[in-house]
Amino acid sequence: MDEIAVALPESTTTPVGDASVGQAKIEWVRRHSPVLNGFVRETLADGALAGVRIAVVVHLEAKTAFLATVLADAGAEVIVAGSNPRTTNGDVVEALRAQGLTVVAEPDGDYDSWERELLAAADYAPDYIIDDGAELTMRMAQFRPELYQRLQGVSEETTTGTSRLHAMSAAGKLPFKTLTANDARCKHLFDNKFGTGQTTVQALLNLTNRQIAGARVVVVGYGFVGRGIAQYAQAMGARTFVIEIDPVRALEAHMDGHTIGAAKDVLPTATMVVTATGGMRAIGEADFPYLRDDVVLANAGHHDLEVDVDALAAASTLTTEPRTNIVTYRLGDRDIHVLSGGALVNIAGGSGHPVEIMDLTFAVQGLGIHYLATTDLADGVHIIPKHLDDAIAAAKLASLGVTLDEVRPEQEDDSADWLEGIPSA
């Protein structure tokens, strides 16, 4: 591996958390991650990642930390940063540092400090990135072009980041191979739907201490994340509504039992609104007139800007903080409550995805980096191959004590027989 001289940032000397508490959190994840701690560890033990420098840039809490330790145990040089300034856990940061990993993130930061942290991660000249939202990838392209050109690959976590990678590839600005981990079946079918669905509703209720049965919950966006949120809210007795601009997804939401409508039609009676588009300003200034008094706004998409908090603050006459992680904005005679500053509510206002879900997601990421490092792929965006996806699912089932039947000979399709009787063209 070619070396490059870089100016490394100075590490912090003041602890910002309790390493022993953080280690206990990581150990809890290990206990409930049979795929990552078993099948993935065994695969990575072939030495392919020894000496490889990997930047892990995902919401920095215990589950991300365990992924980082698995990579480090495989011999990789791991640099850890956060993908959002509001979701870095100080105890976990100190636990990773105590284990000898390089961490360039601190808790309780703002967007300026987060930008500096991302560039600090870039300055370690990673060979590969496990990214979230393509946040580090984009910044390296813009601010560290020489190091960007040296990148060997990226494995991307999110729908938003996947869209960004495709845009970069289409523009001829992606000079290396990438994997969209988000498009792996063992990621989006479980993480996006069941993980975000469950934990978003949990965080919303825990932060507000409000009742969901009978509530009118509007979900903005009906991708896999929106599906999960609407499904969990509906199962808990909410009346569920969906705002969606894609006609096929809107029809799917209708078939799933949700009421479909435009913002002007469904927002005026909503008691809770959750954005899940992966885009910008899903609830913006144009939507404010439709919001009723006492409505709760939460974001479950990638961008903190899915709820335009800055515009809401500019339009308000008074702001108060009635509960932890809730800011109330006064618009005329209406109070609008925003959870977790518009950041991802299930992480900034909760504990993030269930461990069992992230065991699958981070298995995809761990095997994805190994696949990138051991496979000759063309530059551009790729999906993890089916056999690896299947292997992850099989390992998860095995951990549950489940074995599957195989197709018996008499169940095979007879196409081979009748194809022999068809004349060649």
Residues composing the chain: 425
Residue with the bigger pLDDT between 7 and 14: it is: 14
H or E stretch at 262? none
Query: What's the pLDDT band for 58 if we cut at 50, 70, 90?
Result: very high
Query: What's the pLDDT band for 374 if we cut at 50, 70, 90?
Result: very high
Tell me which residue of 384, 362, 357 sits closest to 54, measured CA to CA: 362
pLDDT value at residue 415: 74
Residue with the bigger pLDDT between 20 and 6: it is: 20
Q: How far is CA 199 from CA 36, 40, 266, 300, 371, in A?
A: 21, 25, 24, 10, 30
Going along the chain from its start, the domains and CATH numbers come out as: 19-187+353-399 (3.40.50.1480), 193-348 (3.40.50.720)
Structure tokens at 387: 């056999």
Taking only Cα atoms into account, the Rg of the chain, rounded to an integer number of angstroms, comes to 23
Residue 13 pLDDT exceeds 60: no
For the ranges 14-18, 53-57, 348-352, the lowest mean pLDDT is seen at 14-18
pLDDT digits (tens, 9 = 90+) for 157-188: 998 899 999 999 999 999 999 999 999 999 99
Structure tokens at 201: 């509703």
What is the pLDDT averaged over residues 67-82? Answer: 98
Residues 180-204: b if buried by 16+ CB within 10 A, e if exposed: bbbbbbbbbebbbbbbbbbbbbbbb
What is the three-class DSSP state of 415?
helix
Residue 12 pLDDT exceeds 70: no
What is the pLDDT averaged over residues 111-137? Answer: 96
Residue 200 pLDDT exceeds 90: yes
Half-sphere CA count of 265, side-chain side, radius 13 A: 8
Residue 375 pLDDT exceeds 60: yes
For the ranges 29-33, 209-213, 275-279, the lowest mean pLDDT is seen at 275-279
pLDDT digits (tens, 9 = 90+) for 204-254: 999 999 999 999 999 999 999 999 999 999 999 999 999 999 999 999 999
> First CA to last CA across the chain, in angstroms?
52
Share of the chain above pLDDT 90, in %: 85
Residue 10 pLDDT exceeds 70: no
Query: What's the pLDDT band for 14 if we cut at 50, 70, 90?
Result: low
Angle between helices 135-143 and 159-170 (to 10 degrees): 30
Q: What is the overall mean pLDDT for the chain?
A: 94
Residue with the bigger pLDDT between 347 and 152: it is: 152
pLDDT digits (tens, 9 = 90+) for 385-404: 999 999 999 999 999 999 99
Residue with the bigger pLDDT between 8 and 301: it is: 301
Tell me which residue of 210, 266, 217, 253 sits closest to 238, measured CA to CA: 217
Residue 418 pLDDT exceeds 90: no
pLDDT value at residue 302: 75
Half-sphere CA count of 93, side-chain side, radius 13 A: 22
Structure tokens at 235: 């199962």
Query: What's the pLDDT band for 1 if we cut at 50, 70, 90?
Result: very low
pLDDT value at residue 127: 98
Residue 4 pLDDT exceeds 60: no
Could you give the CA distance from residue 4 to residue 143 in angstroms, rounded to a whole number? 17
pLDDT value at residue 6: 52
Residue 336 pLDDT exceeds 50: yes
